[in-house]
DNA sequence: ATCCGTGCAAAGAATTTGCATACAT
DNA sequence: ATGTATGCAAATTCTTTGCACGGAT
């Protein structure tokens, strides 16, 4: 049942924009590509991003109050959003596996669910925005 | 500058539906209320939910692939979604404050952000869906 | 009597989809 | 030659908003 997917120049441009832009929305990817290739269509951007996310080639991220964002880093990792400027940073290296499995264990015990993954989004102030506040 | 908000029957129905339905979407709240009060309008449901969320009277939750959901429990708490049936459960009591502050601390150290909150969504299989799988 | 909240419908934002053509295989 | 992927535009889905009217204060 797996379809034969072809290589396309547009898909490559989309992946490039993804790495360049850090956690962009589809519209941001579209605008970036348009600089070099104005005939790109927003539908193509959405189509490729959705397909790649389905195939786990990239991640689709959902943040409250913003359109979906996309991430070429498919390793499970987590994010923190600056509540002042909206900047998004990865928290990967900060979360020891030991801490996560204790967390999962606690959740499993309390809910009876079997945990297979997590989506952790922290909120806070980024270094730049912390200056001049206190 | 705070406006005088009035009491309305509709707002009460919406809060009632919220507690009844666990993590419903606006459309689900709307359908529930329509059973008893068919003239309710979806706009009114959205208007009230958005206002209440802004005033921190309820929470607005964003899950990937689903419209926003609403929660009358305003204490910071977390959720787990069944990847088979979509059921959403709370994980509150399971997460010891000690574990969370270690998590926050690790994130702060790695990112330089100051953490002020988190939105934790776990993924897994609910007890019902685990049966008959292995 | 005032003026906020409602119902309705239209507008708006985000995303998906149908179709004819272009292009990778 | 075949059949996906594209560009375009229309369609969907989710959510917000403008306006005249009804209801809470």
Give all domains of chain B, ordered by start, each with its CATH number: 1-73 (1.10.10.10), 75-134 (3.30.1490.190)
Identify the pLDDT of residue A1.
Answer: 46
Percentage of chain B surpassing pLDDT 70?
94
Between chains, do A64 and B68 touch, taking CB under 8 Å as contact?
A: yes
With a 7 Å cutoff on the CB, does A40 touch strand C?
no
CA angle B80, B83, B84 (to 5 degrees): 130
Contact A112/B90 with Cβ under 8 angstroms?
Answer: no
Which uninterrupted H or E stretch holds B53?
helix B42-54
How confident is residue B131, by pLDDT bands cut at 50, 70 and 90?
confident
Amino acid B109 CA to nucleotide D12 C1' distance, rounded Å: 44
- Provide the whole-model pTM: 0.92
Contact list in A for residue B120 (CB cut-off 8 A) is 118-121
For residue A71, give the 3-state DSSP assignment.
Answer: strand
Q: Which nucleotides of D are covered by protein (CB under 7 A)?
A: 3-10, 13-18, 23-25
Q: What is A3-49 written as a DSSP string?
A: --PPP-HHHHHHHHHHHHHSS-BHHHHHHHHHHH-TT--HHHHHHHH
Least confident range from A24-33, B46-55, B84-93: namely B84-93
Which residues does chain B have within 8 Å of residue A115's beta carbon, measured at their own beta carbons?
80, 122-124
| CB-side neighbour CA atoms (13 Å) of B69 | 19
d(CA B88, CA B79) in angstroms, rounded, equals 7
- Could you read off the pLDDT of B97-112 as tens digits, one per residue? 889 999 999 999 999 9
Q: Is the CB of A9 under 7 A from strand C?
A: yes
The more confidently predicted of residues A76 and A54 is: A54
> How do residues B50-63 score in pLDDT, each as one tens digit?
999 999 999 999 99
3-class DSSP assignment, residue A103 = helix
pLDDT score of A94: 56
């Amino acid at each position: 049942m797996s379809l034969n997917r072809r290589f396309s120049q547009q898909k490559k441009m989309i992946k490039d924009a993804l790495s360049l832009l850090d956690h962009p929305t589809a519209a941001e990817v579209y605008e970036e590509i348009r600089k070099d290739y104005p005939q790109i269509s927003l539908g193509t951007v959405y189509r490729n991003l959705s397909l790649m996310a389905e195939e786990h080639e990239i991640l689709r991220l959902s943040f409250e109050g913003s359109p979906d964002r996309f991430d070429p880093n498919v390793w499970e990792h987590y994010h923190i959003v600056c509540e002042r400027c909206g900047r998004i940073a990865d928290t990967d290296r900060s979360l020891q596996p030991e801490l996560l499995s204790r967390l999962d264990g606690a959740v499993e015990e309390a809910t009876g669910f079997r945990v297979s993954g997590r989506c952790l989004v922290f909120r806070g102030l980024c270094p730049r925005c912390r200056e001049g506040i206190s």
